[in-house]
Amino acid sequence: MVEEIITLENDDVRVQVMAHHGGRITHLINQRDEREWLIGPRAVDTTPPRLDDVYTDTNHFGWDEMLPTIDSCQYPGEPYSDLALADHGELWTALWEVIDRGPTSLHQRVEGQRMKYVFDRVLELRGAVLRCEYRCVTPVDTAMLWALHPQFVTRDATRLQLHPEPVSVLDTSRATPRVRDWPGDLIVERDIVAGSDLMIYVDPMVAVESASLLDADGSSLTMTWDWRFARYLGIWADHGRHSGGRVIAIEPTNSFYDDLSKAVAHRRSTPFAANQPLTWWVEIALQSAKVAAP
């Protein structure tokens, strides 16, 4: 089956989305300066991933949605006692349905593969802003971890800045997490050894409300999100360990941190009550590169 690619476009932004397999957003382009913000595939192979595949073993790229966990684990208690939850969740391997579409908007829906839930995502271009609206409902009280997973490709000296700035972050890249100072920004080639990656979380008591990627030429991306739902923030930065380039993934989430079972045990996860839809949003604003005066 050849995957259908849906394009959303206005004068400012062009977005391309896989209609069915994983609902993956494959391109996010600033039309004003042609800046592509999402990393492309590492290989020509376009075989769709399957449930229980290990995410980093696949030809992953672009922007995926994570639910109901990131790290594979066992579901913590009822109603799915000891159910095995797949690596990086179910959404990135599931078949999505197109509910409605237009030149600048797309409504998709996907149902749980092992757990019972219905997940909706609506993408809409509003000038230079991509608005993402989410809705999820489950028939039974359920614990679920949602996280955004957009693999933003960085250029030389692209800086990540957080607003407001935290004093420190938790480095979860090692077996034993450690607290480290936040230096004010993050630059992949400066801060991460080639061939390695970094996973950090902002202290769960600190409310970071937006994050920006700033290119040297003035092109930028700023993400804001519904902090009432996604009150935690993870950041994954990769210097060629798992990706075909330099990547920073800004990952707002409703749980702290990657393992649903641990998040529930530490009461760091938003519950999904039976038949009570939860809604939240993410916005990404693109700014064009500065044009030099003649």
- 180 assigned to some structural domain: yes
| 57 contact partners, CB below 8 Å, separation of at least 6 | none
Which pLDDT belongs to residue 174? 84
The enclosing domain of 259 has a CATH number of 2.70.98.10
Which pLDDT belongs to residue 1? 60
- 26 assigned to some structural domain: yes
Number of structural domains in the chain = 1
Residues 131, 123 contacting (CB under 8 angstroms): yes
- 208 assigned to some structural domain: yes
- 191 assigned to some structural domain: yes
pLDDT surpassing 70 at residue 293 = no
Which pLDDT belongs to residue 126? 98
**Quick one: which of 140, 198, 172, 183 has its CA closest to 255?**
172
- 294 assigned to some structural domain: no
Mean pLDDT of the chain: 95
- 292 assigned to some structural domain: no
Distances 54 to 71, 88, 286 between C-alpha atoms, Å: 10, 8, 32
Q: What residue numbers bound the domain in which 99 lies?
A: 5-287
58 or 47, greater pLDDT: 58
Task: Tell me what the mean pLDDT of segment 142-164 comes to.
Answer: 97
E strand or H helix at 173, and its extent? none
- 249 assigned to some structural domain: yes
Spatial distance between the Cα atoms of 37 and 53, rounded to a whole number of angstroms? 26
Handedness of CA 81, 87, 89, 90 (dihedral sign): negative
